Amino acid sequence: MMPVGQAAKDGTAALLAESTPARKQKSRIDGQTKQPEPVKVPKTEELSRMRRLFGFELADLSSWKRFVCMMNRPTDPASLGVFRFLFGLLMVLDIPQERGLGYLDYKYLDGLEVCRFPLFNALHPLPLDWMYLVYVLMLSGALGIMLGCFYRLSCLLFVVPYWYVFFLDKTTWNNHSYLYGLIGFQFVFVNGNRYWSLDGLWNPRKRNAHVPLWNYTILRAQIFIVYFIAGLKKLDADWVEGYSMGSLSRHWLFDPFKLVLSDEMTNLLVVHGAGLTLDLTAGYLLFFDLTRPLALFFVSYFHCMNSQLFSIGMFSYTMLATSPLFCYPDWPRRLVTKLPRLLRSVLPPVEVPQRSQDCVYATPIRTQKTRTKAKDGSHAEGTDGGTAGSSPGLRQKLGAFFTVLYILEQLFLPYSHFVTQGYNNWTNGLYGYSWDMMVHSRSHQHVKITYRDGLTGEIGYLNPGVFTQTRRWKDHGDMLKQYATCLSGLLHNYNVSEPEIYFDIWVSINDRFQQRLFDSRVDIVKADWSPFRRNTWLMPLLIDLSPWRLKFQEVESTLDNQTEVVFIADFPGLHLENFVSEDLGNTSIQLLKGEVQVEIVKEEKNYTLKEGEGMQLPAGEYHKVFTVSDTASCYMYIYVNTTAVVLEQNLTRLQELKEKVQNGTETEPLPEELMPILHGPDEEMNVTDPLIEAFLRRQRRMEESEKRRNATVADRFLRFAFKKYFLFRRSFLMTAISLRNLVLGRPPLEQLAQEVAYASMKYDEMAVAKSKKTEDAPQEDRSEL
């Protein structure tokens, strides 16, 4: 994939601009300036329409040899070198944050009894100190990529630990983490150190040398695929109809659009419509010269918005760094030439790149020197003192083959779910390599884990998420199988023999009914699972009930702010066991479709409900809802949290009382137990009344929220800077402790605990410690004589 070529006259103008300084220098003789002679414009090749639009001729695809020559045409390395620097820098910032170096000890603490979810069950984390060493290697590799120092080795040092950590935990997978690994993998093969690199300073052959065109092609193709396939995935009906990210339009970033659009239209047209359009068209618009400025504006605006909307680490900035790859490869040189000369000594070079053995140069024409330059920065023909042109060798052929193979693989993987059927659930595959970003949103209403002793028949329940550090396993059958297998092994330590594990997980995807995701009657420990076969214990998504979402909106619009509703759908022959909390003093069930029997467990009574009927449910008791119709039943719970309502009323009365006392309208003295409400929430007071304590907590939250809302830009920046500083500080100190442990051995446990506590200190804790140290220090006698 190559950006558009320009007309021949533009290429000629660029060449003349390069030669102007040399001509001016030769015109100065003995300190006098001669009038420059008229410049003779050399003849240039007339570029065809095909080359002007796409950067190559159809003839370049007529044979394998011509295709290899095209893929290895000499191209300016400047843009690639700048992207290498930016990518390395962003990865250096990413590793302590999203990669988890700052909290590595929480995740991989030695002896931690926890279930893990690697891609391959044989893959296990190393001991904690060795995991820190793995991250040090990864960080060193990212730093080496940024500086272009020992480039190939740095790429390997980054890529190998990165993919090891990536495969170690499927619960952290997402599309942008996958993209980082792909770009790092590509850097292993491309010549990213031919411009603005330390390797170039040490090796003259690598300094400012041409790179083959395929180095750019593979990166541009990757970014094009990210945009375009993300757009294709957004052609899903849920996205087009505005259900995927229904609540996103409430963010303040969309307030300007709400000046002319309603909330519903902002969600439909701006969030979903504009997002779909941008993803489908961004790659094409970046490709062509005429549309590139418009594309750069919109994709930059899009990624800047995403950096505020989502917690996605360095992804937005990485995508911003990829956009200039679609521009002329020599754009950094042209930018540097416009800067003051004083700055050029520390900036990348502006000289024309030197020839490289990695490229294929066309045979020069001795009688008339011609040189045409396409927008991809490659040169169709050129001269070098009359030397013979080069022909493609094995290295060039392998580069072209790798480019084709890699692009085909990337086009296949997002649609390879028919092969890896075991990873398919309601959505296809593991989230993270299909570019289906933000297409599906989920909410979980009910999760129950039941175990049964295989010998005694004893039944018990586990807290959802026990022995795990994540809850992402709830949506993926492969992780559920790993979790059940792990629980089966751990329960042996708690005198449970041959445990059977059953999961009852209720999920709503894109605002549909809450329904069970897996068959709650199947023992997942013994259940069959294969990455290449469909899960037989996966329950189908009730897609035919999707039109009910319009009815949901109608029902919700009739409720007041204190009333909540949950919509449930269940399969024939199954039942939902539920418990109504005592806080929910006004709970009812109403049937929307089908037929159900409601059993009140304590009363041992059954009530049959048909479409349109309902009943009150007693608080503080279990009940079961059996689906007895031949088709799926649909019903809704309508409830009011009476405890929360009473609490809110009491807190409101306390707030009104406080305001009356403060403005003098309250003449009666306050009881002693209510006096704390007059003091600030930060003051130290002995409060025993739960209501007063809740009031003070709410006041504290309100004050903190108001303080953040009214904070200046400087205050927000300082808060952000302090947060990042202490994260990087902890990363550095914990890494130093672990490396010391590897070299010298672990110190006594008490000393190690003190070191970890010091590394984990936050700003407030350090201020308190510093203040305490000052108070404990001996005071000097400052009395004057």
The catalytic residue positions are 234
- Rounded (to 5) percent helix, strand, coil in the chain: 50, 10, 40
Contact of 4 with 375, CB cutoff 8 Å: yes
Q: How far apart are CA 236 and CA 65, in angstroms?
A: 41
According to DSSP H, which parts of 604-689 are helical? 642-663
Please say whether the dihedral angle defined by the alpha carbons of residues 50, 51, 54 and 59, taken in this order, is positive or negative.
positive
**What backbone phi and psi angles, to 5 degrees, belong to 44?**
-125, 155
In this structure, the chain runs to a length of 785
The single-letter DSSP state of residue 640 is: E
Measured from the Cβ of residue 504, the count of other Cβ atoms closer than 10 Å reads: 19
Please, what's the b/e burial string for 534-559 (b: 16 or more CB within 10 A of its CB; e: otherwise)?
Answer: ebebbbebbeebbebbeebeeeeeee
Q: Is 338 exposed, middle or buried (0-12, 13-18, 19+ CB in 10 A)?
A: exposed
Nearest to 142 by CA among 77, 192, 201: 192
**What backbone phi and psi angles, to 5 degrees, belong to 410?**
-70, -30
Q: How far apart are CA 300 and CA 306, in angstroms?
A: 10
β-pairing, 595-600 vs 563-570, is unpaired
Which residues on neighbouring strands pair with residue 599, listed in sequence order?
606, 624
Return the C-alpha torsion angle 307, 312, 317, 320, nearest 10.
-80
Q: How far apart are CA 758 and CA 16, in angstroms?
A: 62
Contact of 406 with 199, CB cutoff 8 Å: no
- Cβ-defined contacts of 707-712 (< 8 Å, 24+): none
Q: Give me 140's structure tokens.
A: 């060193």
The single-letter DSSP state of residue 352 is: P
Q: How far apart are the first and last CA of the chain?
A: 85
Could you tell me the CA-to-CA distances from 359 to 1, 74, 212, 395 in Å, in that order?
A: 17, 5, 5, 9
Q: How far apart are CA 772 and CA 776, in angstroms?
A: 6
Measured from the Cβ of residue 43, the count of other Cβ atoms closer than 10 Å reads: 11
Q: How far apart are CA 350 and CA 212, in angstroms?
A: 19
According to DSSP H, which parts of 205-351 are helical? 213-233, 237-240, 263-265, 275-287, 292-309, 315-322, 331-337, 341-344
